[in-house]
Copies of this chain bind each other. A is one copy, B any other.
Amino acid sequence: MSNALTVSVPEGVPFIDFEREFDYPVTEIFRAHRDPALVAQWLGPRGVNIDMDHYDFRTGGTYKYTHSDEEGGSFTFSGVFHTVRENEFAVQTFEFDGFRDVVSIEFLTFEDLGNGRSKLTGHAVYPTLEARDGMASTGMEDGMNDGYERLEETLAKAHA
């Protein structure tokens, strides 16, 4: 098993790229992104509570959720889904209310690797280099790492 998250922050362009493999078929990984009850179990770092206002993972749908941490911090995220193609591809906008109007756009590719395995590839694009650098310095990578581990745990529970 080598399902490590790889994150790259290329110099000079406002992108963050990542990829990760999973020991689950692409249909399961997609379902964990589409079903709000499943998303609520994994999206975000360990130790935060998620309040899912709504999460409508379809072309033209919108989402909004709030993370609360143990120190009383509260962080709301919202956006729209430009494209969602089942088991294949999604494009969404993303805004953190702590940085109003700094909206990024994220491209997610779901790929079947065969043998019950799959791969998720992400390309996030920020409105400025500064916004990208700010995001990359927030511990985002740890949060994503936690999130995808929790996604696997969520699917493991669903299959138990």
Residues of A within 8 A of B (CB): 12-14, 60, 62, 79-83, 89, 91, 93, 95, 101, 103-105, 107, 123, 125-127, 129
Closest chain-B Cβ to A83's Cβ sits at a distance in Å of 7
Please, which residues of chain B bring their CB within 8 A of the CB of A81?
A: 80
B107 & A82 in contact (Cβ 8 Å cutoff): no
Closest chain-B Cβ to A56's Cβ sits at a distance in Å of 10
A91 & B62 in contact (Cβ 8 Å cutoff): no
Number of chain copies forming the complex: 2
A93 & B107 in contact (Cβ 8 Å cutoff): no
Please, which residues of chain B bring their CB within 8 A of the CB of A83?
A: 95, 101, 103
Please, which residues of chain B bring their CB within 8 A of the CB of A62?
A: 60
A14 & B14 in contact (Cβ 8 Å cutoff): yes
Cβ-closest chain B residue relative to A14: B13
Cβ-closest chain B residue relative to A93: B82
Closest chain-B Cβ to A2's Cβ sits at a distance in Å of 28
Q: What are 15 A-B pairs with beta-carbon distances under 8 A?
A: A12-B12, A14-B125, A60-B62, A60-B80, A80-B93, A82-B103, A83-B95, A83-B101, A83-B103, A91-B101, A93-B93, A93-B105, A103-B105, A103-B107, A105-B105
Query: A60-B62, A91-B101, A101-B107 given. 16 additional CB < 8 A pairs?
Result: A13-B14, A13-B129, A14-B14, A14-B125, A80-B81, A80-B93, A82-B95, A82-B103, A83-B103, A91-B103, A103-B105, A103-B107, A105-B105, A107-B127, A125-B125, A125-B126
